[in-house]
Amino acid sequence: MKSFKLTPLASAFVGGALMATSSVAIAQNTGPSPELNLPTKGAFTCVEQAISLVSAVIDRQGCAATEDEYTLDGSINSDGNGSCVVDDTAVFVNTVNDTFRGTHQETLTVTPGEIDDMDVLDLDGDFWYSREGEIMYGDSWFDLCVNNCIAPDFLGREPYDEHVIKDFYKDPEPGEKDGHLVLDQGLEVITKDDFPRKKYRQTSRYLPPNGGLGAMVIEKVSIAPNNAPQCFLSYEAEVDDFGGGIQFEGTLTVIQL
């Protein structure tokens, strides 16, 4: 069994509250509202969308074949709009509306991208947040290109979609360094031709920059039958203030357990 450890940077910023675990276990949600602002919502939308693309590639070619470290960097403006890049695929985020009911953001790709030598095309996603970000729900649709993806045949396109729900809350027992630590637990499912393919348990830990350097850690582990190999995805990033918005630089690690 392979193991994964947080980088010294992520561990230093959030201490024991961000300890990585392949079981992706976290305390029951008993904390107050996370009060997520638009840039933070945009960052989670972009990162979750980018990780879902990698999850689809994992379904297509297997976890062991996808094991690697992938760069995942981006920036989100104060209005929640921005972009991120995973491997060689750019994901764009646009805030459609932000009202007293909540926030609706869209994701898309402008040009075909590539993840681990597999083309990603025609991303179209929608993500919704409750007003203060306690709940996030997302749906997205995209194609992976296996062979011929050129018009008019498009024979090599394989349609995927992704659905994720996240439950954010502030740490109910904050320590000295993590008084603003935001936690999350949730589920994600990857489907192909409308049929479910992979399901993941997932958690997030986020320390807002608030004028200093923050951190984001997202972990997902596949739910598999007894004794079947599980796939573990872990994203670690530095988060910094950026002209009223935020920017983040990190690495997504994929390993088969």
123-149 per-position pLDDT tens digit: 999 999 999 899 999 999 999 997 767
Confidence of residue 251 (pLDDT cuts 50, 70, 90): very high
Sign of CA dihedral 58, 60, 63, 64: negative
Q: Are 34 and 132 in contact (CB under 8 A)?
A: yes
What backbone phi and psi angles, to 5 degrees, belong to 89?
Answer: -125, 125
Q: Give pLDDT, residue 1.
A: 32
CB 14 within 8 A of CB 205: yes
Write the burial class of residue 22 (CB in 10 Å: 0-12 exposed, 13-18 middle, 19+ buried): middle
pLDDT 10s digits, 24-72: 544 455 677 888 999 999 999 999 999 999 999 999 999 999 999 999 9
- Domain boundaries, given as residue ranges, for the chain: 32-213
- pTM of the entire predicted model: 0.88
End-to-end CA distance of the chain: 5
Q: Tens of pLDDT along 79-125?
A: 999 999 999 999 999 999 999 999 999 999 999 999 998 999 999 99
Greater pLDDT, 5 or 221: 221
154 token code pair: 């498009």
Average pLDDT over residues 241-246: 91
Six token digits for residue 148: 């011929």
Give the pair of three-digit tokens for residue 130: 């409750």
CA distance 85 to 134: 26
